């Protein structure tokens, strides 16, 4: 199988490429702002460049984790967000439509509103932020352009080993080791998802020729304060350095769904197992990688 990972320099993209190569696939990776050696530089806003790459190599599968994911930056830069998350996605989907293959597009739990119930994949979306609205629109365009040749994978709170060390766990560990207070929202819930497992699940779904939308998230539903405490437990840090505060006091520009959960039944039924490990196991694996 020949695969293309657009956004290999990011956390999810890096693991998608690693998993593809481990399975013996011929894998091409791209990067933009943080492109490193061995990657093709690609800005998905450049429709001609996207077309040229996909037309020349005709991939069996194109993975698209690349996006503007900084929710607050997106809120204050809506045009930039839409250009990347919507227009860029459409550029990729159109090229795949013309030249064959399956598009695997990564989305978010933010497409939904706060709810005490866990959302099924076909539940109506109700996005609040600029970022979330861009992801809903991108999902819709992918379905329209590639009705039978797409996978949309919604995920939440992705963490794991990454070269840029930007995810929450890296920042939490660095802050606490420096003796600084770690301020986290005490009322925002999510499902921490270990990045290598997310990548493997995406490739497993592809291998089984699954299409449509799946929720690929971890098995534990935690609020950020408890996740931070779990980080302290695994990394042997003093949890007294954590300060939980209500979201309203943080001055975050983008609205966020506070209590939200994604149902995982469809994913587990499709793969015949639970592909995402518990966050404690993921954190233990991450600590091992960080200390290696």
Structure tokens at 198: 């997310």
Confidence of residue 274 (pLDDT cuts 50, 70, 90): very high
268 in a structural domain: yes
Does the structure show a pLDDT above 70 at 34? no
pLDDT reported for residue 211: 98
Q: What is the pLDDT of residues 140-187, one digit of tens each?
A: 999 999 999 999 999 999 999 988 888 899 999 999 999 999 999 989
265 membership: H or E segment, kind and range: helix 265-271
225 in a structural domain: no
139 in a structural domain: yes
Average pLDDT over residues 235-248: 93
Structure tokens at 279: 């966050």
Candidate ranges 32-36, 92-96, 222-226, 258-262; pick with highest mean pLDDT:
92-96
Q: Residues of the chain with pLDDT > 90: what percent? A: 89
Average pLDDT over residues 88-116: 97
The mean pLDDT value of the chain amounts to: 95
Structure tokens at 79: 């045009």
Q: By the 8 A CB rule, do 216 and 198 touch?
A: yes
Q: Could you tell me the pTM of the whole model?
A: 0.96
Domain count, the chain: 1
42 in a structural domain: yes
13 in a structural domain: yes
Report the distance separating Cα 267 and Cα 193, nearest Å. Answer: 14
Does the structure show a pLDDT above 80 at 58? yes
* Sheet of 150-155, strand order: 40-41, 26-31, 2-6, 61-64, 102-108, 150-155, 212-215
Confidence of residue 191 (pLDDT cuts 50, 70, 90): very high
Structural domain that includes position 151: 2-158+195-218+261-276
Report the distance separating Cα 107 and Cα 70, nearest Å. Answer: 13
256 in a structural domain: no
CATH number of the domain residue 53 falls in: 3.40.50.720
Alpha carbon distances (Å) from 134 to 50, 101, 150: 20, 24, 18
Burial of 42 (0-12, 13-18, 19+ CB in 10 A): buried
Report the distance separating Cα 5 and Cα 17, nearest Å. Answer: 6
Q: What is the pLDDT of residues 194-209, one digit of tens each?
A: 999 999 999 999 999 9
Phi and psi angles of residue 186, each rounded to the nearest 5 degrees, phi first: -95, 0
pLDDT reported for residue 37: 66
pLDDT reported for residue 163: 83
232 in a structural domain: no
Phi and psi angles of residue 247, each rounded to the nearest 5 degrees, phi first: -55, -35
Does the structure show a pLDDT above 80 at 36? no
Does the structure show a pLDDT above 60 at 35? no
How many residues in total does the chain contain? 292
Does the structure show a pLDDT above 70 at 104? yes
169 in a structural domain: no
pLDDT reported for residue 5: 97
> CA torsion, points 3, 7, 9, 13, in degrees to nearest 10?
-60
Q: By the 8 A CB rule, do 67 and 122 touch?
A: no
């Amino acid at each position: 199988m020949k695969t293309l990972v657009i956004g290999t320099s990011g956390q999810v993209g890096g693991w998608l490429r690693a998993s593809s190569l481990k399975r013996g696939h011929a894998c091409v990776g791209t990067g933009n702002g943080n492109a490193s050696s061995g990657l093709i530089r690609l800005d998905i806003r450049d429709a001609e460049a996207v077309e040229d790459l996909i037309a020349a190599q005709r991939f069996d599968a194109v993975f698209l984790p690349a996006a503007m994911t900084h929710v607050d930056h997106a809120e204050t830069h809506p045009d930039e967000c839409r250009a990347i998350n919507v227009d860029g996605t459409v550029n990729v989907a159109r090229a795949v439509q013309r030249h064959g293959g399956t598009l695997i597009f990564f989305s978010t739990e933010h497409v939904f509103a706060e709810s005490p119930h866990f959302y099924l994949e076909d539940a109506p979306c109700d996005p609040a932020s600029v970022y979330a609205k861009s992801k809903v629109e991108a999902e819709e365009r992918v379905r329209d352009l590639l009705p039978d040749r797409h996978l949309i994978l919604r995920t939440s709170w992705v963490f794991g080993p990454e070269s840029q060390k930007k995810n929450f766990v890296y920042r939490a560990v660095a802050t606490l080791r420096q003796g600084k207070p770690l301020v986290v929202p005490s009322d925002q819930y999510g499902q921490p998802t270990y990045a290598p497992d997310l990548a493997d699940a995406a490739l497993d779904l592809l291998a089984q020729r699954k299409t449509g939308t799946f929720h690929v998230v971890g098995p534990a539903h935690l609020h950020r304060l408890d996740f931070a405490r779990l980080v302290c437990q695994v990394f042997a840090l003093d949890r007294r350095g954590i300060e939980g505060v209500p979201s309203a006091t943080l001055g975050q520009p983008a609205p966020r769904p506070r209590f939200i959960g994604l149902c995982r039944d469809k994913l587990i039924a499709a793969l015949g197992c639970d592909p995402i490990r518990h966050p404690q196991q993921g954190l233990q694996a991450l600590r091992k990688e960080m200390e290696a």
